[in-house]
Chain A
Amino acid sequence: MAQPRTYSAKIVTRAGELFQGDVVSAVIPGAEGYFGVKAYHAPLIAALGLGEMVLTGADQHKRYFALSGGVVEVRDNQLIVLADIGERAEEIDVDRAQQAAQRARARLKGEGAEKRVDITRAEIALGRALNRLHVAKHRR
């Protein structure tokens, strides 16, 4: 079987680089739904949503990342992901994510959450926490 064609991928956040290397395919949480990128993808610029990103290397090894917000560009066989918030699956602090989820749930149920802003914030926080917990399941 022919070697699968690879392209270079990079994930950068404000806190640093999460990944740089060659991959065969990527599954990306776009703002308007998940999409896949393989080698020689057409030039694309897309907004990132909240979700899990999966990179597959030439050896079929998969890497998982929890991302939230940002933008992604595909061009000249290069993928660049600029995430507002991003973490590698193996670096997610599950206890902290669980606590964050609990806090957010409590705020959603609580009497104090009358203001719409607070509710939106709590919902976002809950979404992020659940996403991190989901991605953390893939840790080795």
Chain B
Amino acid sequence: MAANLRELRRKVRTVQHIRQITRAMKMVATAKLQRIQQIVQNGRRYQDELRRLLAHVVAAARDVDHPYLRGREVRTVGVMIVGGDRGLCGAFNRQIIELALEFISGQEVGVEVITVGNRMRRYADRSGLEIVGSYDGVERPDDVSIGQIVDQVRRWYESGQVDLVQAIYARFETIVRHPAVSEQLLPLVPDAFGGESPEYVEYIFEPEAKKLLGGLLPRAVGVQIAQILLGTQASAQAARITAMSAATDNAEDMIVELTRHLNRARQEEITAELLDVVSGARALQA
């Protein structure tokens, strides 16, 4: 009986510790999300403006050709899979990798993969994918690895190693909405220009349109990749907040339940001891 009591007390303490940890993790994730959310939102404004501007240039300079704008026969597809570095964020990483595997299994041509986030690397390794590059997740916009990833993706496409680049990541919409999505990165689809087709305006271009586009298009792709990387990090933190919040609630439920058991066990023990004493006294009186 006493052993059971001790056992229960230990269990309650353990769950209390777990609750402390999950609560702390939730707070850390909340703080991180706030910081990165601001960065993502600022970046999105810039991205929107750049897209609009790019649409204007492309509309005004129809005759200009660029590999980023023109599709070619697809013999190899490049897939950039972006996810988290750490677990304890619910189904977050699994949803991304599932979408990636679904996309890859639908391809009839060769597939190469770049992974961002070491969870993605592990999954991709296990699935036997051909990984040509892998990076740890990024948390800051000035992180050098963003530049490295952008460079590798551009070279990947420009060198002809792959003929199309697809990005699979978690798009950050709100704290509770951050779905895994799959979208084409290169060649640029009209969607990349905001979808609208602006009226024709006679622009002065400085330098000439071709040179200007040559500078603008890689910049647009770079911004898009950076937004994908940072947005996915924001999504990972949001997923962690939800997961840790649920874990904290569950721990609380368990503590209540265990405490109830504990109290009952303690009372039973006291009753048993009392019974011993009383019956012992009776025996002496008799």
Contact = CB atoms under 8 A, between A and B. Distances in A.
A41 B60 CA distance: 17
B259 to A, nearest CB: 50
A57 to B, nearest CB: 22
Interface in B41-84: 42-43, 45-46, 49-50, 53, 56-57, 60
B206 interface: yes
Interface residues of A, number: 22
A87 to B, nearest CB: 14
A45 interface: yes
Contact of B53 (A30, A42, A45): A45
A120 B134 CA distance: 28
Interface stretch (A13-21, A89-97, A107-115): A13-21
Main secondary structure of the interface of B (DSSP, over half): helix
Interface in A64-79: 71, 73, 75
A47 B42 contact: no
Contact of A43 (B201, B215, B226): B201
A80 B43 contact: no
Contacts of B223: 14
Most chain A beta-carbon neighbours within 10 Å: one of B43, B46, B50: B46
B207 to A, nearest CB: 6
A43 B203 contact: yes
Main secondary structure of the interface of A (DSSP, over half): strand
A71 B46 contact: no
Nearest to B214: A47
A82 B207 CA distance: 16
B141 interface: yes
Contacts of A82: 46, 49-50, 53
B206 A32 contact: yes
A47 B211 CA distance: 9
Contacts of B215: 47, 71
Given A30-B206, A32-B207, A46-B206, A14 B141 contact: yes
Contacts of A47: 206-207, 211-212, 215
Contacts of A1: none
Given A12-B46, A15-B141, A82-B53, A43 B207 contact: no
A54 interface: no
A125 interface: no
B204 interface: yes
B29 to A, nearest CB: 23
Contact of B49 (A12, A31, A43, A84): A12
Contact of A14 (B46, B57, B60, B211): B46
Given A47-B215, A73-B56, A82-B53, A12 B206 contact: no
A117 interface: no
Interface in B80-113: none
A44 interface: yes
Contact of A45 (B43, B49, B56, B141): B56
Nearest to A81: B49
A84 B202 CA distance: 26
Interface of B: 39, 42-43, 45-46, 49-50, 53, 56-57, 60, 141, 201-207, 211-212, 215-216, 219, 223, 226
10 contacts: A14-B46, A14-B226, A15-B42, A45-B212, A46-B205, A46-B206, A71-B215, A73-B53, A75-B203, A80-B53
Given A14-B141, A44-B204, A75-B203, 7 more contacts: A17-B42, A31-B207, A44-B205, A45-B203, A47-B211, A71-B212, A71-B215
Interface of A: 12-17, 30-32, 35, 42-47, 71, 73, 75, 80, 82, 84
